[in-house]
Amino acid sequence: MLVVMHKDATEEQIRRVCAVIKEMGLTPHPIKGAQRVAIGVTGNKEMVNTRRIENLEGVINIIHVTQPYKLVSREMKPDDTKINVGNVVIGDKRTVIIAGPCAVESEKQMLEIARAVKSLGADLLRGGAFKPRTSPYSFQGLGEEGLKILAKARAETGLPVVSEATDTEIFSMVEEYVDIIQIGARNMQNYALLKRAGQSRKPVLLKRGMASTIKEFLLAAEYIVAEGNPNVILCERGIRTFSDFTRFTLDISSIPELKKISHLPVIADPSHASGKREMVLPLARAAIAAGADGIMIEVHNNPEQALSDGPQSLTFDGFANLMQELKAIAKIMGRE
């Protein structure tokens, strides 16, 4: 349910409506729009008797949200959510590029990649310090040491950093070092982790589970927003299908659908979706053409020697080429 306030409603009237919602055993979530404030209401198991709220001063309308996800839906908030990270705005005119290695492997590797992607125009730096690997024998990441290296790379390049928190135990540690906390595909329905992310003041990059529907994806995002963190970036990273020539299948159609039914920014990850270096550029082009707000790309200084995801990692030359090509597509789409 959404309580729409008059555009001239006072702070006091908004506070009063929130108080009444709380008295009714429900949770108010004030949402500031361009014109007016609306108050999202969650916590109801059945239809709420709205008579009490309707009659409060400053209230002009009550909208019943039909979707199971509420706070992340466009019904609840028609304006796009824009997320500020350093000097970067995600979900605005600029197509945001997140680039970096799959995993932080050493200070030398990370700094070399950070300098290269920065000089080629990346907006944010990625790198896993805690890696969710399919095999327990694969490289699991450098842990806190990796986070320290990322902080160094940020200090040198000025690029905000994105890194994954794989469980609740290490969440606070990751949160301390990074600018955006990633929740990986394998953890999309880890509800304890989603709730912890909802208590964070840092933006969360939520990846779509590899076998998740759009509804499940948005309900996972709803867990984060319902806990109080409105800054969630959705990432389409490919789903499992019967197609066996790529790692996953990038669900391009999810991009316009998510943009339609949710106000959250949507980015795409063509690296994990395809698992193949030569497919990264064409899929990135397609994602931007389909309306993505950004792209996350794996880049490595020496993909042959990479400790994880080498075959899908772009070289510096490959990334330079991709940045050139994407500029043209972004321009056609009326973006920067």
Query: Does the footprint of ligand PEP cover residue 259 (CB under 6 A)?
Result: no
Query: Does the footprint of ligand PEP cover residue 185 (CB under 6 A)?
Result: yes
How many Å apart are CA 74 and CA 336, to the nearest integer? Answer: 24
Which of 66, 134 has the CB closer to ligand PEP? 134
Query: Does the footprint of ligand PEP cover residue 184 (CB under 6 A)?
Result: yes
The residue range among 117-125, 166-174, 183-191, 327-335 that interacts with ligand PEP, by the rule CB under 6 A, is 183-191
**Is the distance from CB of 275 to CB of 303 less than 8 angstroms?**
no
Question: Burial letters for 48-86: b for 16+ Cβ neighbours within 10 Å, e otherwise?
Answer: beeeebeebebbeebeebebebbbbbbbbbeeebebebe
- In sequence order, the 6+-apart residues with CB closer than 8 A to the CB of 84 are none
- In sequence order, the 6+-apart residues with CB closer than 8 A to the CB of 227 are 194, 195, 197, 198, 199
Question: Considering Cα of 53, then 59, then 63, then 65, what sign does the dihedral take?
Answer: negative
Query: Does the footprint of Mn ion cover residue 123 (CB under 5 A)?
Result: no
Query: Does the footprint of ligand PEP cover residue 128 (CB under 6 A)?
Result: yes
Q: According to CB under 6 A, which one of 14, 59, 102, 290 is a site residue for ligand PEP?
A: 102
Which of 14, 162 has the CB closer to ligand PEP? 162
Please give the size of the binding site for ligand PEP, defined by CB under 6 A: 10
Q: According to CB under 5 A, which one of 38, 85, 102, 129 is a site residue for Mn ion?
A: 102
Query: Does the footprint of ligand PEP cover residue 322 (CB under 6 A)?
Result: no
Per-position x/- string for 46-65, each x denoting binding to ligand PEP as judged by CB under 6 A, each - no binding: --------------------
Residue indicated by tokens 């990370």: 110
Secondary structure element (H or E) that encloses residue 254, with its range = helix 254-261
Binding interface with ligand PEP (CB under 6 A):
102, 128, 132, 164, 184-186, 207, 237, 272
Binding interface with Mn ion (CB under 5 A):
102, 309
